[in-house]
Amino acid sequence: MCIILWDEFPILVEILTRGTTMNRFFRTAPLVVFLLACGGGDSSRTVIQNRGSDTLVNVAQAWAEAYSAIDPRVAVAVTGGGSGTGISAMINGTIDIANASRAMSESEIEDAHARGVDPIEHIVGYDALAVFLHPDNPIDAMTVAQLANIYAEGGEFEDWSQLGVTVPGCSSGEIIRVSRQNNSGTYAYFEEAVLGGAEYGLGSRDMNGSSEVVELVANTPCAIGYSGLAYATDHVKMPCVSFQGSDCVAPTTSSAVDGSYPIARPLFMYTNGEPTGAIGAYMDWIKSSVGQCIILAKGYASAAPVTCT
């Protein structure tokens, strides 16, 4: 199986269309060899298009790579772009499987039905939506209400002193809010679960991917961010989170699956109708103990209890 990097196609097109005919031949000869090696000339190869959530993109790529040993006749093309992007592509019929870190909205489902598409939801794992702080930040525990007051429009907290702390290296004291772009399922879930449907305040630094959120927070003492637990590194700290008056719970795979962590969420894949054929076989494998052990190894919780060796 070949993992097709569709995001690189614009570069390939540029190579194919510039220079003289002879130059183009020599420049593209390696590409032709690559496509043949990937089975580009094999009309019997089935290509499954899989797109969406940046939270899920790393595990989706791991699934695709591992599946090559299961069925070499199937190629899985994996790209990110956000949950909204994947869902839209599934509704438009340009992909087979949409990855999403949030459930489809009613308007998306209505749009799908209007186009003759029947979205079927598959829960493929669970995730704890972690809050990230710079390692020098002295805060070890936060409430959902505090997070809402930091991120929501009209929120009270703009300075770390309002939370009773001084952050070393943050001379201004300003709370730098790091968020995701608005087509992200992580963005939408945080808005619903933490902000209670209120709008985000203006002035946040909106990142394209989860790893970018973590990197910015790790290098910015004044910053706070949020994203999937699997993107945590040793260069950020993660406070426990609680609802007012309840126990403060750390983000872990176990607290995600048992629901004790306040901002845990299921992770989804969507198909048009119940999947059959190559797509059905691939989805069944993802939900199997082998597929679920892969998502566990990537730092998420499995959709069902599994024993992994």
Tokens representing residue 211 in the block = 């790893």
User: What is 6-125+267-297's CATH superfamily?
Assistant: Periplasmic binding protein-like II (3.40.190.10)
Question: Looking at the DSSP assignment, which residues form a beta bridge with residue 205?
Answer: 178
Question: Percent of the chain having pLDDT more than 90?
Answer: 80
Alpha-carbon distance of 8 to 31, in angstroms, equals: 12
Topology (CATH) of 128-264: D-Maltodextrin-Binding Protein; domain 2 (3.40.190)
Alpha-carbon distance of 294 to 15, in angstroms, equals: 36
CA atoms 47, 48, 52, 55: torsion sign: negative
Quick one: pLDDT at residue 43?
55
Measured between alpha carbons, how far is residue 184 from residues 75, 216, 279, 297 in Å? Answer: 26, 18, 25, 23
**Tens-place pLDDT, residues 107-124:** 999 999 999 999 999 999
Residues 6+ apart with CB under 8 A from 218: 132, 134, 135, 233, 235, 236
Q: List the pLDDT tens digit at each of the 309 positions of the chain.
A: 444 444 433 433 343 334 433 343 333 333 333 333 344 445 578 999 999 999 999 999 999 999 999 999 999 999 999 999 999 999 999 999 999 999 999 999 999 999 999 999 999 999 999 999 999 999 999 999 999 999 999 999 999 999 999 999 999 999 999 999 998 999 999 999 999 989 999 999 999 999 999 999 999 999 999 999 999 999 999 999 999 889 999 999 889 988 899 999 999 999 999 999 999 999 999 999 999 999 999 989 999 889 998
Domain with CATH 3.40.190.10 in the chain: 6-125+267-297, 128-264
Residues 6+ apart with CB under 8 A from 282: 48, 67, 71, 74, 76, 97, 275
- Whether residue 115 contacts residue 91, with contact meaning beta carbons closer than 8 Å, is answered with yes
Neighbours of 208 (CB within 10 A): 15
Name the residue type at position 122. H
**Tens-place pLDDT, residues 28-77:** 333 333 333 344 445 578 999 999 999 999 999 999 999 999 999 999 99
Alpha-carbon distance of 263 to 147, in angstroms, equals: 11
Alpha-carbon distance of 103 to 87, in angstroms, equals: 10
Q: pTM (2 decimals)?
A: 0.79
